[in-house]
Amino acid sequence: MPVRVKVNEAMSRLTNHHDRILEALTVMGRALEHGNPDPNDVHALVQFMQRFVDACHHGVEEYILFSGANRRGFPLEGGPIYVMVAEHGVGRYLARLVEEAYRAWLEGDQNALRDMVDYARMYMDHLAQHIEKENKILFPTLAAHYDEVSATRTIEEVEREHEYDRWMALLENLKRKYGV
């Protein structure tokens, strides 16, 4: 049975996610600025990228807001949703590169540390620019067109499925550790 989702409520929740993601990027920057970062923190941040940013946050965007707008007639092909979803794929790829470099570093490849830091910086830059586009262009455009969209799940269901509370607790612990 379809669920009605208020666009402004979805965007408010997603904007809050964006704020948390930007905090995580700040933590990542601080964790990686040391010559010898804590491997456990790096691993936790990589998991945050893959499980919270990609699975949970992008899941809410793609399964609820974007698909709901597409079904209501907002264009996919050649439109801003297409660009955002393509950028989600780029972010996913960059997160994988960070993870692969992290694994090589743990196995003793000291050159992999440099690669991990470089890929993480690319990821951080990419995601910060992506968030700005969504907050300043896509979300206001969708709000101008639709009051609500139809979805097969609620935001709360997607967040629960992807352990939102767990990732927020992890982020809070890392923020305290790195003074963010």
Q: What is the mean pLDDT of residues 173-177?
A: 96
Report which residue type is found at 30.
R
| Model pLDDT, residue 135 | 96
Find the helix packing angle between 39-47 and 80-106, rounded to 10°. Answer: 150
DSSP state of 5: E
* pLDDT tens figures, 113-170: 899 999 999 999 999 999 999 999 999 999 999 999 999 999 999 999 999 999 999 9
Pairing of strands 3-6, 148-151: antiparallel
Q: What is the mean pLDDT of residues 9-28?
A: 96
* pLDDT tens figures, 56-111: 999 999 999 999 999 999 999 889 999 999 999 999 999 999 999 999 999 999 89
CATH 3.40.50.10490 correct for 3-178: no
Q: Is the pLDDT of residue 33 over 90?
A: no
| Model pLDDT, residue 87 | 97
Q: What is the mean pLDDT of residues 21-43?
A: 89
Domain ranges of the chain: 3-178
Tell me which of 19-28, 34-43, 91-100, 146-155 is least confident: 34-43
| Model pLDDT, residue 37 | 86
Q: Is the pLDDT of residue 1 over 90?
A: no
| Model pLDDT, residue 49 | 93
Question: What is the average pLDDT value for the chain, to the nearest integer?
Answer: 94
Question: What's the rounded Cα separation, in Å, for the pair 44 and 23?
Answer: 14
Q: What is the DSSP string of 105-168?
A: HHTT-HHHHHHHHHHHHHHHHHHHHHHHHIIIIIHHHHHHH-SEEEESS-HHHHHHHTTHHHHH
Q: Which residue has the higher pLDDT, 23 or 35?
A: 23
| Model pLDDT, residue 63 | 94
